Each structure stands twice: as structure tokens, then as C-alpha cells.
Amino acid sequence: MQTSASPLSRTLANVFLIGAVLVALLPLALVALNAFKPHTAIVANPLSLPESLSLDNFARAWNGGKFSIGIVNSLLLSGTTTLITLAFASLAAFALARRKIPGWQLITIYFLCATTVPIQLFLFPLYFVYAKLGIVGNFAATSLILAAINLPISIFLLRAYVISIPQDVDDAAFMDGANPLQTFLHVILPLMRPGLITVAIIVFLNSWNEFLITSTFQKGRSNITMTLGYLSMNGTYATDQGALMAGAFILVAPIIVFFLLLQRFFISGMTSGAVKG
Amino acid sequence: MAGLTLRSVRKNFGEAEIIKSVDLDVEHGEFVVFVGPSGCGKSTLLRMLAGLENITEGSIAIDGRDVTGMLPLERGVAMVFQSYALYPHMSVEDNIGFGLKIAHVPRPERQQRVLEAARVLQLEPYLKRKPKALSGGQRQRVAIGRAIVKSPKIFLFDEPLSNLDAELRVQMRLEIAALHQRLGATMIYVTHDQVEAMTLADKIVVLRAGRIEQVGRPIDLYENPDNLFVAGFIGSPKMNFIAATVSSVADGKATIAAPTLGQAVLTVPLRRNTTRPGDEVTLGFRPEHSELAADGGFAGTVQVVEQLGSVSYVYAHAEGGAPVTIEQRRLSGLRPGEALRFTLETDRLFLFDKAGERL
């Protein structure tokens, strides 16, 4: 790609970007580094290199944080949340971007307001209802709450995405005899893919790291997520920094893998070729 | 039986009246072109025929069957969009076959019909490609293929060539004309390009501000416009319009004075006998119906000369000050600032009343 920027400003931009990358990656590198060191070595010098690549810390952390239970629950919870959010947000985004809905401004304002209300307000009534229904600790039920929290922002993101798809494409589908649902499934949804992936990453990350809702609703030893498991390590492993570092590493590793897997699908120009461009 | 009939068709967008009571008959197999300036409602009218816009009032019938309010497929219409509107994630094959897939046409038949359409449009080598790997002309052909495969009664084209470069436009214009002959289907074509209109149309519909100004064969509109608007819109360069006053009327002819043109008086044939001496009128004549002359006629001064090779257009100011365009065969020897004299073919002059209606 041709850029018109001068060499100096490009160098400055690069320096800034490298700095930003370092700021983001250094703590992570530090965690990775110390995950291989015993407690005493960490306390002595957190910046020293590990003497051996021993996986002892990881083994202790895996058992101590009950990650074998946590990872299943976290994957189920985050995966379900992501699926529910994508399903509803894409449909709502399509409707809000394309259909002439009376009072759509009100709906939009409602969603906007929803993003500003603190979740703590809903916590007690929700817990009360869930307890009555006996679904406290059920990952699918909890993911419904997490999806609801993520929906407004997802709908806004996806709505903007649908708007960027030319209306003529919908009209063409209509002329081809497609009903709105067919237009959505066969034409709009495939074209929304980059938007869907963006939202999937955001929502998955949010629910993976989520603490307040999960700690309230995922009660019981068999229902804990990785985040909750890691929290439970805090007390017992306060004197074992090595295990805590390894636990943190185990906690963030899946999300990094998930991101790296999906980032390949960030394809720009998905709609190129639809209309004269 | 008429292929397409519009009766008192109206369209309002909120308060604004976009289409004001349109009546139109299109014969089966006719190539009809809607022309008009931007915002005249020609595209809206086409979208109403397609079923993409509902109509506020009136009725649309195809082959004698009232289709008002029906879906496009039930109407038997297919549309080619200005932007092509291809599905970017589908191959050419799937783009053309999408309508059939939605209609649950079995795969073997679907493939056969797609192949048939691709053959007509010479798209066979590109069937597996995505739209982004096609040139503008090829994309346009895919868009047409998507219409053909549905075997519609009526094809609707919404400015299909306006996104193409000049050379390709001429080529696609010929292809569309050939397609019309081959399929024999009724085609409705919206454009603002009057060359497309004149060359493609069996019948031109001139629209202005949501109203039909005139309907007729291209040559009729050219030689016999009903009003000032049609006279000015059809033909390039534009018809010359000169303010004039009627001095006398006799034997179906009016004698007029046009001081902005010059001193000489002109006798103009009339279509209707409603004009009176003293009426203020507009005189119209086409650039090719004026001729440079050694003497007589009107005097003027050359402003600009456009040499097109086969003809030249001389833009001059008449002695009375009116700007006129005069066509000259082949190259012109005139230079800006030079004096000239020109005469008019008196049986090719038009008069329009104050309301712009032909006299």
C-alpha cells in the first residue's frame, strides 16, 4: 500500500507503536517468565531468567485452581454466551438496519440506556428469580445473563456493519424471491462475517474474564469457571508466587489462542465486488 | 393485449408526491425507455413496477392480470440494478442461480438453466469466479444473467450502463439490444443518457417531476415534441430556444418576430390554431436545421466552435444577442470572433406557448 506520510512521521509512528506493544506485552512476558521459577527465585528477583523449564508450577496451579473443571465450564459458558449473543445481535442488527420498524429510535435509545445501567442493580432480583427457578449454577442460564449484558454493544456494532452492506444487495435478493429470513441467512449473514468475528472475540473475551455475574451465579465446586478457580488459589497459594504465575498463564492462554485463531478471518473488503467499487 | 398497463399510478413519500398519476401502456415485446432529468421519478417508477416500492394509488397490470401489491416473482419481473448488486460471497454460478435455489428448483435443472443463461451472455468461463474477480462488463452480464434465468415476462433495467466506461457502454448497449431481439421479452429501461434512449427504445417515455411529458417513438419525440421540455430534453446539442412575438396568424401558419435573433420575420407551421397576434411565444429550432449562408437570414458572431470531425457545432451570438447553436457539416473554418450569417429551415421550426406547450 502506498502511503503519503513522510519517513520521519512514519518512524515516529513506528516508535510509538513499538512502545505500545511493549507496554501491552511486557507484563504478559513477565508472567510467562516467572511461571517457570520457584517462589524464592521470584521474590529474590522477578526479572531473572528461569534456571530450568520446570512445569511443576503449572501442575500445582492446574490442581490448585481446579482448572480441569474450570476450563470446561469457562468454555461452555463463554461459548454459549458468544453463540446466544451472535444469534440475537445479528438478527436485531439486521432488523434495526434494514426493516422500517415503527419506533426504532425508541428501541435504539432503550439499548443505549441499557449499556449505561450498572449490572449490580439487576443482581439481586436476577438471583432471586434464578434461585426460584432452580437454575443457579446452570451455565446455560448464566450465559443468558452474560449475553444480555453484551447484547446492546454487539447490536450497535453489527448494525453499523449491516448498514455498510449496500441496500441494493437486499433488493436483489428480494427480486430473486427471497423472504427477509432467507435474505438474512443467505446474503446478509455471510457478508457480516468480519463483523460477527469481531463481536465474537469481544464477547468471548468479556465472558471469559467476567467475574461478578459468574461468581454470583456459578455456585458450587463443579460449576466454577477458570476465573473463579484462579481466585480460589489466592488464599492457599499466597506463598507460592510460581504457582500463581502459572495459574495466570493457564487462565489467559486459551483466550490468546482463540484470538490468534480468529484473527485470520479478519478479512477486509468482504463486500468488494457487490457493487461498483 | 397490452404487456404492461399502468392506470393512475401514484406514489407519495410522506408529503412529497413523487409520481403523479401515471398512465402507460406497454405492448408485449416492446423496448421502453424511461428518460428524464435526475429526480424525475423514473427510477422510482421502475422500482414500483418491480415491486420494490409499493404504490400509493392506482393499479399495475401485466398481461391483463392485476399485479398491484404482488411480489416480484409473482409479477414475472426481473431487475438489473445500476450497481449490479451481485452477492459478493457467491460465485457467478450461485449468483445467477440464487433465485432458482430460493424457489427450490432441483439442482440438475438449476445448473442447466444457469448454464443456458451463461451461454447467452458468454459467461461460461467465469462461472466459478467471485464477482470481485470480474471486470465491470462481466459483472453487468452476471446481473443480466440473474434476470434471464428467471425467464421473466418483463425485464427492468435501472441505468445498467452508467457505471461502465464509454467504450464498454457502447458495447453493452449493443449487447442489450441484441438480447432484446433474441429473447423478444418486454424490457423497461431507465436512463438519463439520451443516446441510449434513442438507440435502444421502441418507445420513449419522457418524465419530469413525476409526470409523463410525452410517450412516443424516439424519432417522433425528436421531430414532433409535444412541449418545450421534451424538445429541449431530446437531442444533443440542445434545441435552440428564442423568445418571439406572434405578429399574424393565417392558413395554419404564424408569422413571428424574434428581435433577439434579428430583424427578419419567420413563418412557422402551427399544430393547433389557438395562437393570436401579440402572443409571446418561444421559437425552437434544432442546430441541424440552421445553415450558414452567404447572405440573408440572420447575422451573428462566433463564440466557440466544436469540431467533432463529421460535424461541427458553432456556438454564436445572434445580432439581437440570443445565443444559438448551428450545426455545420464536416469541419468548420470559422474562428471565434468572426461574423457569420445563417438561415433557418422554416418547415422545421417549432413554436411553444407561454406554458411551454407546442403550438
pLDDT number for residue A270: 47
How far is residue B117's CA from residue A234's CA, in Å, rounded to a whole number? Answer: 69
String of DSSP letters for A190-253: HHTHHHHHHHHHHHHHHHHH--HHHHHH--SGGG--HHHHHHHHHHHTTT-HHHHHHHHHHHHH
Q: How many helices (H) and strands (E) does chain A have?
A: 14, 0
* Neighbour tally for A18: CB within 10 Å: 10
Alpha-helix runs per DSSP H in B201-259: 218-223, 228-233
pLDDT number for residue A269: 41
Cis peptide before B237 (omega within 30 of 0): yes
Q: Of B72, B103, B132, which has the smallest distance from its Cβ to A175's Cβ?
A: B72
A-chain residues near B73 (CB < 8 A): 177
**pLDDT tier, A275 (very low <50, low <70, confident <90, very high otherwise):** low
pLDDT number for residue A4: 60
**pLDDT tier, A19 (very low <50, low <70, confident <90, very high otherwise):** very high
Q: Of A171, A191, A269, which has the smallest distance from its Cβ to B85's Cβ?
A: A171
Helix A226-236 / helix A56-64 crossing angle, nearest 10 deg:
110
CA B26 to chain centre: 15
Range A65-263: architecture per CATH: Orthogonal Bundle (1.10)
DSSP SS3 for B254:
strand
Beta-carbon contacts below 8 Å between A and B: 85
Q: Of B82, B85, B139, which has the smallest distance from its Cβ to A169's Cβ?
A: B85
pLDDT number for residue B181: 93
Extract the C-alpha cell encoding A166: 449496500
DSSP SS3 for B111:
helix
Residue of A nearest to B143 (CA): A172
Pairing of strands B253-257, B240-250: antiparallel
Distance from CA of B92 to the nearest CA of A (A): 11
Q: How much is the average pLDDT of A249-273?
A: 72
* Neighbour tally for A240: CB within 10 Å: 19
What domains appear along chain B, each with residue ranges and CATH number? 2-233 (3.40.50.300), 240-352 (2.40.50.140)
Q: Check the CA dihedral B32-B33-B36-B37 and report its sign.
A: positive
pLDDT number for residue A266: 58
B-chain residues near A187 (CB < 8 A): 87
> Could you tell me if residue B13 is left (phi over 0), alpha (psi between -120 and 50 degrees) or otherwise beta?
beta
pLDDT one-digit tens code per residue, A176-210: 999 999 999 999 999 998 889 889 988 998 999 99
Which residues of chain A form CATH 1.10.3720.10? 65-263
A267 Cβ neighbours under 8 A, 6+ residues apart: A193, A194
pLDDT tens, chain B, 359 aa long: 458 999 999 999 888 899 999 999 999 999 999 999 988 999 999 999 999 999 999 999 999 999 998 999 899 999 999 999 999 999 999 999 999 999 999 999 999 999 999 998 989 999 999 999 999 889 999 999 999 999 999 999 999 998 888 888 898 899 999 999 998 999 999 998 888 999 999 999 999 999 999 999 999 999 999 999 999 999 888 999 999 999 999 888 999 999 999 888 899 999 888 888 989 999 999 999 998 888 888 999 999 999 998 999 999 999 989 999 999 988 888 899 999 999 999 889 999 999 999 98
Distance from CA of A49 to the nearest CA of B (A): 50
Pair B196, B166: CB distance under 8 Å? no
pLDDT number for residue A277: 40
pTM of the predicted model as reported, rounded to 2 decimal places: 0.83
Pick from A6, A187, A275: nearest CA to B85: A275
How far is residue A260's CA from residue A265's CA, in Å, rounded to a whole number? Answer: 10
A-chain residues near B89 (CB < 8 A): 190-191, 270
Q: Of B85, B130, B146, which has the smallest distance from its Cβ to A168's Cβ?
A: B85
Q: Of A182, A274, A275, which has the smallest distance from its Cβ to B102's Cβ?
A: A182
Q: Is a pLDDT exceeding 80 seen at residue A264?
A: no
Residue A45 CA: distances (Å) to CA of A42, B95, B338: 5, 64, 96
Q: Is a pLDDT exceeding 80 seen at residue A73?
A: yes
Q: Of A171, A176, A271, which has the smallest distance from its Cβ to B98's Cβ?
A: A176
How far is residue B256's CA from residue B265's CA, in Å, rounded to a whole number? Answer: 6
String of DSSP letters for B267-296: EEE-SSS---TT-EEEEEE-GGGEEE-SSS
Cβ <8 Å between A186 and B102? yes
pLDDT number for residue B167: 87
Query: What mean pLDDT is reported for chain A?
Result: 87
Pair A109, A117: CB distance under 8 Å? no
Chain A residue set in contact with B, beta carbons under 8 Å: 166, 168-169, 171-178, 182, 186-187, 190-191, 269-276
Cβ <8 Å between B98 and A186? yes
Cβ <8 Å between B139 and A187? no
Q: Residue B257: which H helix or E strand, with range? A: strand B253-257
Q: Is a pLDDT exceeding 70 seen at residue A268?
A: no
Alpha-carbon torsion angle A154, A157, A159, A164, nearest 10 = -150
Alpha-helix runs per DSSP H in chain B: 42-50, 72-75, 92-102, 107-120, 136-148, 166-183, 194-200, 218-223, 228-233
A-chain residues near B86 (CB < 8 A): 169, 172, 273-275
A-chain residues near B102 (CB < 8 A): 176-178, 182, 186
Distance from CA of B132 to the nearest CA of A (A): 4
B6 Cβ neighbours under 8 A, 6+ residues apart: B22, B23, B24, B25, B49, B58, B59, B60
* Neighbour tally for B166: CB within 10 Å: 8
Partner A, chain B 81-140, Cβ-Cβ below 8 Å: 81-89, 98-99, 102-103, 130-134, 136, 139
B49 Cβ neighbours under 8 A, 6+ residues apart: B4, B6, B60, B77, B154, B156, B188
B181 Cβ neighbours under 8 A, 6+ residues apart: none
Cβ <8 Å between A276 and B163? yes
